[in-house]
Amino acid sequence: MRCLANLLVPAIMALSGGLVTLAQTPPYNVGRPATDQEIRAWDIAIGPEGEELPPGSGTSKEGAKIYAQRCASCHGPTAAEGKFIHGPLLGGRETLTTLYPLKTLGSYWPFATGIWDYIRRGMPPGGEGSLTTDEVYHLTAFLLYRNGIIKETDVLNEKNLPKIQMPNRNGFVPAKPEWKPGEKRPHGLYP
């Protein structure tokens, strides 16, 4: 059979490759500009530095009440229960090097912002997005307190949440995620 490779001529090729940033006018002018308001409404991703966190605050005590109402049926009354497909949210420290490692917020998660992000994004199942901003802060505070990371009376807000040092912050390799195309690895896998 014939194989014609690289017959590809152009239009797109010229655009491909490289990370050159372009300030020029858009090549095609298809799509419409997004407004700030639209972006705010959609931008629910919270990075490790918490820049996207909306103003608000919460405490563990308030969080305990919300947890009992909206979370305990799946995660168990104390959050230490592992029920069905939900692993426990607490405990597990010192288990990571055993045959039966237990990955929890306290033993595994490197950033507290991830907890806030995920509660707002995905909890509770079926009612995603129904929690208010403050409720998310409350629940985050509750889980951090139950994991022994903050005190029961600490008030969590958009400023101090990104600063919380999670116990397993340095438990990941490489320290800074990166990707090199074609990097050599044993058997194609990283140990």
Partner 1 sequence: MGWFTMHYYCRNLLVLTLALTGAAAVAQGPAYQRGRNATEEEIRAWDISIGPDGKELPPGSGTATEGAQIYAQKCAACHGKTGAEIHPAKLTHMGGAPGPLVGGVGTLSSSKPVKTVGSFWPYATILWDYIRRGMPEFRPGTLTVNEVYALTAFLLFQNGIIKEKDVMDANSLPKVQMPNRDGFVPPKPEWKPGMKRPLGYYP
Partner 2 sequence: MGSKQSSRRRFLKGGAALAGLAIGGIPRAIAQVPRVEKADAPPGDSRAYGHRSRFDTSKRLDDTHAPHGMTTPIQDTTGIITPNGLHFVMDHDHMERPDIDPKQHRLLIHGQVDRPLSFTLEELKTLPSVSKIYFIECNGNSQPPRGPGKDSVQDVHGRISCSEWTGVPLALLLREAGLKAGATWLVAEGADAKRYAMGIPLTKGMEDVLVAYGQNGEPVRPEQGYPLRLIIPGFEGNISIKWLRRIKVVDQLYVPRHQATNAELMPNGKALWFNFQIGAKSVITRPSGGQKLPGPGFYEITGLAWSGGGAVHRVEVSTDGGKSWKDAELQQPVLPMAWTRFRSPWTWNGQEAVLQSRCTDERGEVQPTLAQLREVWGINSDFYFQDHFNGIQPWKVTPDGVVHNALLLS
Partner 3 sequence: MDAKQPGRRRFLKSGAALAGLAVSGIRPAAGQTPGASPDVVHKERAAYGQPSRFEAASRIPAGPNPGSRTPLQDVVGIIAANGLHFVQSSYSGDNIDPRKHRLLIHGMVHRPLIFSLEDLKRLPSVSRIHFVECTGNTSPVTPSLTTIRGGIGDGTGKGSEWIDELHQSVQQTHGKMGCAWYTGVLLSVLLREAGVKPEAGWLLLEGAEPGHLSRSIPLAKGMDDVLVAYGQNGEAIRPEQGYPFRTVVPGFEGNINIKWLRRVKVIDQPHMVKEEINNYTSLRLDGKARWFQLEMPVKSVITFPSSGQRLPGPGFYNITGLAWSGRGAIRKVEVSVDSGRTWKDAQLEDPVVRMAWTRFHFPWTWNGEATRVLSRSTDEQGDVQPTLAEFSKVWGVNLEYWRKTTNFVNHFNVIQPWKINGDGSVQNAMLG
Interaction site with partner 2 (CB under 8 A): 1-12, 28-30, 84-85
We find the least distance from the C-beta atom of residue 145 to partner 1, in angstroms, to be 47
Please give the torsion angle defined by the CA atoms of residues 133, 134, 137 and 142, in that order, rounded to the nearest 10 degrees.
-140
We find the least distance from the C-beta atom of residue 175 to partner 1, in angstroms, to be 25
What number of residues does the chain have?
191
Nearest alpha carbon to residue 144 among 115, 171, 122 = 115
- Which one of 1, 11, 19, 41 is in contact with partner 1 (CB under 8 A)? 1
161: DSSP letter = G
We find the least distance from the C-beta atom of residue 97 to partner 3, in angstroms, to be 4
Task: Indicate the residue among 29 and 97 with the shorter CB distance to partner 2.
Answer: 29
- Nearest-angstrom CA–CA distance, 157 and 175: 27
- Nearest-angstrom CA–CA distance, 67 and 89: 12
Site track for partner 3 across 135-174, x = CB under 8 A: ------------------------------------xxxx
The gap between the terminal CA atoms of the chain, to the nearest Å, is: 41
Q: Is 15 in the site for partner 3 (CB under 8 A)?
A: yes
- Nearest-angstrom CA–CA distance, 1 and 28: 37
Helix (H) or strand (E) holding 44: none
Q: Which of residues 86-105 bind partner 1 (CB under 8 A)?
A: none
Partner whose footprint covers residue 7, from partner 1, partner 3, partner 2, none (CB < 5 to 8 Å by kind): partner 2
We find the least distance from the C-beta atom of residue 8 to partner 2, in angstroms, to be 6
Q: Is 13 in the site for partner 1 (CB under 8 A)?
A: yes
